[in-house]
Amino acid sequence: MSTYITRTLEHAIARALKTFPAILVTGPRQSGKTTLLQKLFAKTHRHVSLENSEQRARCLADPLAFLATNPPPVILDEAQYVPDLLHYIKSAIDTQRKPGQWILSGSQNFALMQNASQSLAGRCAVLSLLPFANEEIFSEKPRTLDEILAEKFEA
């Protein structure tokens, strides 16, 4: 079992959720977006992965029904698969502008970023999560490369 490593972006996410109705956490694949959001919000937000083909098909077929069955507070993970959903989220936010209700994640996909900047302007904080920084990896005590590899690859 691997140990969760606290990310420096956690503080920015906490601040943004107090102000904005939505946040979008972007970053490259395997940078830890899903792990971070599930760790922070497992108790307060439902998690829906749009990477799941059934969820994605429901969302594409009827975005309003999809949002009705997945109301906030919610994490919509892998939102790059359904970038047009952001237009519907904008309408939902305009109906009830309450901070911290919508958490989106996705890769830095052009369509997702364009829709976020257009549809959710002023409603959404866009934050970028990069792979681990040295200060995140070595936050507790300096470790040797052998110690890090042993922890990451133990059975």
Residue type, 129: L
* CATH (one of 3.40.1710, 2.70.98, 1.20.950, 3.40.50) for 9-153: 3.40.50
Average pLDDT over residues 118-140: 79
Average pLDDT over residues 142-148: 71
Summarize pLDDT for 17-72 with one digit per residue, the tens.
999 999 999 998 888 899 999 999 999 999 999 999 999 999 999 999 999 999 99
pTM above 0.95, yes or no: no
